[in-house]
Structure 1
Amino acid sequence: MWEYEHSVETAASAGTVWRHWSDMALWPRWNDGIESIEIDGPFAVGTTFTMTPPGDEPIRMRLTEIEPDKWFTDEMDAGDFVVRTVHRLEPADGRTRIVYRTEITGPAADEVGPQLGPAITADFPDVLAALVRLAEEG
């Protein structure tokens, strides 16, 4: 298994952050790692979506777990490995902690994780900083 976690704190409420997370069509506005996104349904467990990173191939994903105003999980299943990212909101002394945690599991995880994992998570600090800026604006 390969894993990575990054978190930041914001003065924005969990509900405000959640509003930006649950509006998937607008993710490319604050996440520079998404050139485009196609969503096959509402922000709900089971909905699939395709994200295209800038200059890269589209990635097919699925929402697998959702607890409104608290967390959601998305997964990319490649057969011999699964990339799972948990997006979590936690109370933090009157603030909100935003946590992104990615795990790569499965038979090929030890082989692909060290190469793929850092490529996937490299922009987490920038993505979370942009999300915080947007959430603190309202």
Structure 2
Amino acid sequence: MSKGNIWSKSFELDVNHTPEQIWQAFVDTSNWKLWNSGVKSIKIEGPFVSGTWFSMELPEGDIIRSQLVDVSQGKHFIDETWIGDTLIRVEHRIEAVRLGLSKFIYAIRTQGSDAQFFGEGISSDFPQVMTGLAKYLANKVV
């Protein structure tokens, strides 16, 4: 892997939900497909904790295998995926802004020969995914 070929970007969205409500949507992997159109299904191989592996089936049938590398309950989780010699690291972070208002942040960092290609491709739908999560939470809370 080339240490000099790094690409990163982050996205933020304020939502009228508590960190706990957002966290519950994150750990409920079986329902990711309800708010993320890029997910057909998820198979998690254990509890939602650091070290656990999961496989995500994409709508076109490809399967991506990833690992939860850093999970801090109610605050964030980071997953890593290797595609060839490129490492994709995605952070999903929750921050309380004030009572009833939170911010969630999706940050991606890729490193390797195809860092920019994979980084741009994978993160291109992050704004839609975040909006989908906000709508899912709004419908679930009502």
Q: Shift in Å at residue 77 of structure 1?
A: 2.6
Amino acid of the residue matched to residue 119 of structure 2?
Answer: G
The answer for unaligned runs of 5 or more in structure 2 is 1-5
- 1:92 matched to 2:97? The reply is yes
Q: Shift in Å at residue 78 of structure 1?
A: 3.8
| Identical-pair percentage | 29
**Does the 8 Å contact 1:65/1:74 carry over to 2?**
yes
Which residue in the other structure is 2:32 paired with?
27
**Does the 8 Å contact 2:54/2:66 carry over to 1?**
yes
Which residue in the other structure is 2:9 paired with?
4
Aligned match for 1:116, one of 103, 115, 118: 118
**TM-score, with structure 1 as normaliser:** 0.90
The answer for unaligned runs of 5 or more in structure 1 is none
Deviations 1:96-121 (A, max 9, x none): 0100001012xxx2x30221111101
Aligned match for 1:14, one of 19, 24, 34: 19
Equivalents in 2 of 1:17, 1:81: separation in Å? 29
Deviations 1:56-107 (A, max 9, x none): 52100011111111101011034632100010011224420100001012xx
Which residue in the other structure is 2:87 paired with?
82
CA RMSD in angstroms comes to 1.4
Equivalents in 1 of 2:57, 2:120: separation in Å? 17
Amino acid of the residue matched to residue 134 of structure 2?
Answer: V
Equivalents in 2 of 1:80, 1:65: separation in Å? 21
**Does the 8 Å contact 1:10/1:136 carry over to 2?**
no
- 1:70 matched to 2:75? The reply is yes
**TM-score, with structure 2 as normaliser:** 0.88
